[in-house]
Amino acid sequence: MPIAITELGHQRAVPIELAAAQRAAGEQDRGRGLERVLAPLGPGRAWYTRPAMQRLDIELGDRRYPILIGPGRLLDRAALEATLPRGPLLVVTNATVGPLYLPRLRATLAGRTLAECVLPDGEQYKTLATLDGVFDALARARVNRDGAILALGGGVVGDLAGFAAACWQRGIACVQLPTTLLAQVDSSVGGKTAVNHAAGKNLIGAFHQPSAVHADLDTLATLPDRELRAGLAEVLKYGFIRDAEFLDWLDANLARLLARDPEALAYAIHRSCAIKAELVALDEREQGPRALLNLGHTFGHAIETAAGYGEWLHGEAVATGTVLAAETSERLGWLTSTDVARVRDLVARAGLPTSPPRIGVERALELMSLDKKVLGGRVRLVLLKSLGQAVVTGDYDDRALRATLEARVA
């Protein structure tokens, strides 16, 4: 419960006992990587627990880069400059995020050579044609190998800007500045960049690790509710595939996350990034355990492509795909009906869809056959042995997959 404080003009009237309690609480919070701050909440003010900056590092042999998580990341010039080269910069953003956060970033980096490329907003614009527009902006700004792209936005902006950085002059630096929950916990981390093709999602792309990820928690305040829920699909994924204890925490704290509780969001983002960092360090180019991160994605990408890019948000399709993966796992005898019911319940309580569109069995199988995990012509799936333990396998009974699709998409 926040501790209310009255205000008298420019001075705060704080009883001595309350001040002592605040100091004690602050010390306890800082021990947990938090800080207690005064923030406007309604007509007065109140203390709430504000996450302090946290750092994770992606370790890739002799290479590494930081993930910096916390409020005010877009205002921290020193931290940004420490991860930027000295040359010209191009900020790639979109028409929704740009008006909200470009002025802030521009002020923080005042004095730097900073050009801007503002894209239309939406998955339907994640195309080669849009990518060509980013190349035009890079040419106009004369960004060379001593420069960098800053990707300010969600997953579409991050994927597209990262791919542009991978291609331009055979590779320049890219710093990810994710502004959505989905981008902060998943797409900005790990170096997978791409654009879509009519035949399937993310079919044209490259692995290109960012120089850094700065996840500013303050940007989540302007995130539409639907986008917040879509991001929770990826957060739930980490519990399902790798961390049953985290899944239990999510089960108990979904309401706090949906209410945008700062402490709950900070913990969920940090834990999600820690799990992804571990898997990327083990398998940078997704030849092994990193593919576990694709739980729900083989089904989900088929849904997105069949429905038309932009009709379903990526997180919505992944959430439904996760339910289908759980149902297939049950048919294989790996999950119990109670496990599957829990998966459906968590997805539904996060405000996400649990039923796919009726795209047809053969259309679903056709789209799934273009999945990037296909090996030797066999569609490999990420399935659940238990809640908290996933496997990537092509060794499953085709009848189980077909039965799931016939029940759900026919």
Q: Residues with catalytic annotation?
A: 170, 192, 234, 276, 286, 290, 294, 297, 301, 314
- Give one DSSP letter per residue of 97-164, joined into a string: HHHHHHHHHHHHTTTS-EEEEEEPPSGGG-SHHHHHHHHHHHHHTT--TT-EEEEEESHHHHHHHHHH
Q: Counting Cβ atoms within 10 Å, is residue 326 exposed (0-12), middle (13-18) or buried (19+)?
A: buried
Instruction: Report how far residue 189's alpha carbon sits from residue 191's, in angstroms, rounded to the nearest whole number.
Output: 6
**Which residue bears the tokens 């990518």?**
131
In the β-sheet with 54-60, what is the strand arrangement from edge to edge? 54-60, 63-70, 212-216, 173-178, 148-153, 89-94, 114-119
At how many degrees (to 10) do helices 225-242 and 337-349 cross?
150
Query: What is the greatest pairwise CA distance in the chain?
Result: 72
3-state secondary structure of 183: helix
The terminus-to-terminus CA distance of the chain in angstroms comes to: 49
